[in-house]
Structure 1
């Protein structure tokens, strides 16, 4: 009898645990009325009047940020962008079988994309800074991480949008999924007549948009939002057919493209690991490497500098490429001093590598110089301030005879750290009282705006 009771007790505890977990993850807790959520998303679909002007100005801000390579400016532009509205509207429309909302969302998204690319291409046609900076180049080719960010970000966005109390999740999703910068980059590609930038950036925007819409569709279906009802059954079936076809035609290609991105990402990571593990030679090092997944065959190009490795080692490396699971991949090795090597290309790569390294060193030195200049400026300010404070201290403390103020470097021998300390030296005609000493210390902290002042009395 004891064993069935224990089993029954354990089963009851397990059920309570599952109910507890279920309540924790219940999406219906704090949910806004479904019709109110549908209306909220539907209102944000429209692109006219203020919304359109906000989009144009946000695109200009993002274009400037990409142009001057400023991450903060780009983030600010993404915060004020209203692009999320029609994208979430597409997912909502597919989820509730609202063909009118779907058409309106697609139309407004098309208008927004056209205006965004046109605005950015006009900006990049007239800006004097025509170099492609790193922030811009980062938006020319999607990765598996972009797909995951769009999917998870879209899920967070629609869940936040369905709450009674709206949070800042939707602007956060707009930042995380980076809808604005790809459109600006596409405009840059159009302005510079570079199809690679245009197609790559637009591809990234398309992937992000589809997976945000997909995540919205999934949550709407999961939470069983009321579907649009029709008086005419034939019209209802026709609308459902249109919605289903649209969903399939949108999701299937995007999933296929996302799969291609995943395969390419794995290949690139595998190639980087191969280079790190296999190209280890005592007197030869890898200058740089290039990975080309889109070529046929795929290409791993490596430039070596130092002692020339012999043909047997190169043949062995090429065999390892095949044995490591690289399909349809060619290994190309360029060595300084070997025959058949394009020395102009190699010299260019060496100079580029040296330039990049020197640029990092120069940047580091500039930061150190700036820090030292600030320290010198602070030291000079303290010296000038010391004379003023000495005269003021004499008024407050008539028996004060000598006074100096300076900054000193203090080493903490236990924690092995170094800090700057404001040091004050004061000599009185007679030894000051504890009250007078405290008064002088507190006044010095207030006057110099310092948290700590070391006061030495004589």
Structure 2
């Protein structure tokens, strides 16, 4: 009596000769397949350019790139080196065509901003290895079934062969070597582990090898080659994953430090930049009004170790001009951020407004209240108390047609600018 085993992969298995024919038919890139590939690459490139996940998924669904990769894994498992050579040749053609098409697109595209979908393909980790491996297993199982269903479409999306190639094209078009290397590495991970998954499934299903006479020797050489490549491809991804984990922990500790030492003490942070890769690591911030002297800065830097933020330097930007430029850059960067960051945008706008001491209402009001003022200048003046401590004070310089009540002017300006201190001076008109 035959016992039903739900884990038995031989249940529902397709005829082995038919599987070989199907795999062989799907590895070629000429005619229609080449046109489909080029169009898929263009669609994926546009999706990356637009930062549209839906468009990228659509490109992956129509991409024929899986064919030669599965063919290479099948050929290795069956020692069919003629099929292996054909698969690798077609994979090389497909890769080159994809790189050329995506490079041309990004070179001609007027939009070359680095979007999040592009960035996501530049730092592959061990998680990408796992996705490619298990996705490849699903794909290999699917092609050996009589009823193939729709898992292959899901595998095409999960393993994401198209986006890394398009990102590599972006790197070539913009001359960004880091983008190119990271994306090519992710593409290599996906190709290798899809191929290895196919190899293991075909071995498990006991497909007959093509070269019986050299079976043992060939199998040994194949295993050695796979093992070496496995280590060479996996080790960098483990290191990148470890670095990302360390950076995440570092950022969390920095945020706890800033919340405890600044936010909870009533100081509004309007600018924050964390540089994890510098040596020493740097945490740059700016506040709306609070200024720190050298003793306070030293105390805050000493606290970094207590919050498990080693080998780091806290930099508080206090120079007016530099701070204004940083705020403007931060505001521009955050133009398209989510609604959850509306408070940050509001703080940035308030900080910029702090440096704008006059507008059309101010000009109209002062001409009515003080008609005797002929002309005037306004601005923020830096008072340097020590090397590390700078105090800002609004300044008003004027020329008057007759004697001016400076006490009244001072009170009016203090109320207008909502400040405690102000420096008022008359222009020296003597020649």
Contact 1:98 1:227 in 2 (8 A): no
Describe the SS at the equivalent of 2:211: coil
**Does the alignment pair 1:224 with 2:211?**
no
Mapping of 1:155-194 within 5 angstroms? 155-194=137-176
Give 1:310's aligned residue: 297
Cα deviation for residue 31 of structure 1 reads 1.9
Match among 294, 305, 308 for residue 321 of structure 1: 308
CA distance in 2, matches of 1:292, 1:39: 52
Q: Is the 8 A contact 1:144 1:258 kept in 2?
A: yes
Cα distance in structure 2, aligned partners of 1:249 and 1:55: 31
Unaligned runs of 5+ in 1: 1-18, 323-328, 366-458
Deviation for aligned residue 1:167: 1.7
1:99 and 1:239 in contact (8 A); partners too: no
* 2:22 corresponding residue in structure 1: 40
2:314 is paired with a residue whose SS is: strand
2:332 is matched with which residue: 355, 358, 373?
A: 355
The reply to whether residue 115 of structure 1 matches residue 114 of structure 2 is: no
**CA-CA distance at 1:36 after TM superposition:** 2.7
Which of 254, 278, 288 is 2:272 aligned to? Answer: 288
* Aligned residue number for residue 215 of structure 1: 197
- The total of aligned residue pairs comes to 331
Query: 1:42, 1:101 within 8 Å by CA — same for their partners in 2?
Result: yes
Matched-pair contact (CA < 8 Å) for 2:68–2:87: yes
1:244 matched residue in structure 2: 223
TM-score normalised by the chain length of structure 1 = 0.64
Root-mean-square deviation (Å): 3.1
Higher relative contact order (CA 8 A, sep 6+): 2
Offset of 1:124 from its aligned partner?
A: 1.6
3-state SS, counterpart of residue 332 of structure 1: strand
**Pair 1:61-2:40 in alignment:** no
| CA distance in 2 between partners of 1:262 and 1:310 (Å) | 34
2:77 to 95, 98, 113: 95
SS across alignment from 1:334: strand
8 Å CA contact 1:99–1:243 kept in 2: the answer is no
Paired residue for 2:314, among 333, 339, 343? Answer: 333
Contiguous gaps of at least 5 residues in structure 2: 343-431
Shift of 1:84: 0.8
What CA distance in whole angstroms lies between the structure 1 residues aligned with 2:56 and 2:193? 22
Q: Alpha-carbon deviation of 1:74?
A: 1.4
* Poorly superposed stretches of 4+, deviation over 6 Å: 361-365
Deviations 1:20-61 (A, max 9, x none): 9x8233322222233332332232222222211211111111
Instruction: Report the alpha carbon displacement of residue 195 of structure 1 after superposing the two structures with TM.
Output: 0.8
- Report SS of the residue matched to 1:321: coil
Matched residue SS, 1:82: coil
Change over 3 Å in CA distance of 1:285–1:152 after alignment to 2: farther
Displacement of 1:184 in angstroms is 0.8
Report the CA distance between 1:330 and its aligned residue: 3.0
